[in-house]
Amino acid sequence: MTTRETVLQTLFETLQTISGPRVLRNEALPEKVPAGGLLILRDGDPGEPETILSPLSYYWQHLASLEVFVQAGEATQRDALMDALFQNIAAALIADQTLGGLCDRVTPHAADTSSVVIEGAANIKAAIVPVELIYTTDSQLG
C-alpha cells in the first residue's frame, strides 16, 4: 500500500472513532442524514510534491476534504449539532496530529458552511472542512 493510501486510510479510521456520526470515505451522499450527523472523507488533491534530493524523496502537502452534514428542523439545532461535530473532529485530529507518525502534521482548516433545503424534510446544514496532510514518500505515486 502506498504511503498516500495508508495516510488516508488512517485518517478515515481516526474519524471513525468520533462518537455519533456515520463516517464514509469517497461515497455518494446517502438519501438520509443520520441523527448523529454524517462525515464523508474525500481523498482530495495531493498537489505537486517538492523533491528532496538526499535521499531522494517527495514532500507532499495533500489537501483532503471532509464533508460534514447534520439535519434538524430548527436552525439552532443544526448549528449546535454542527458545532459539536466540529469540536469532535478537532479533538480527534489534535489527539494524534501525526497519525501515528505517518504524517509530519495533520491540520484541519476553517470550514465552509451552507444550508440545503429539502422539500418536506428537515433542512440540512453542510460544511466542507479542508484537511491538510503533510507527509513524505519515496515515490511520486505516493
Question: Which residues on neighbouring strands pair with residue 72, listed in sequence order?
Answer: none
Number of domains in the chain: 1
Q: Is residue 19 part of a domain?
A: yes
| Chain segment 101-140, per-residue pLDDT in tens | 999 999 999 999 998 777 777 899 999 999 999 999 998 8
Q: Is residue 31 part of a domain?
A: yes
The pLDDT of residue 28: 95
One-letter amino acid for residue 123 of the chain: N
Report the distance separating Cα 102 and Cα 7, nearest Å: 6
pTM over 0.75: yes
Q: Is residue 51 part of a domain?
A: yes
**What residues make up the domain containing 37?**
3-137
CATH number at residue 18: 3.30.70.1700
Q: Is residue 142 part of a domain?
A: no
Q: Is residue 29 part of a domain?
A: yes
| Chain segment 51-75, per-residue pLDDT in tens | 999 899 999 999 999 999 999 989 9
Report the distance separating Cα 105 and Cα 86, nearest Å: 19
Q: Is residue 112 part of a domain?
A: yes
The pLDDT of residue 118: 73
The pLDDT of residue 142: 77
Give one word for 9, left, alpha or beta, with left for phi > 0 and alpha for psi -120 to 50.
alpha
Q: Which of 131, 142, 105, 140 is nearest to 40 (CA)?
A: 131
Q: Is residue 15 part of a domain?
A: yes
- Mean of pLDDT over the chain: 94
The pLDDT of residue 117: 77
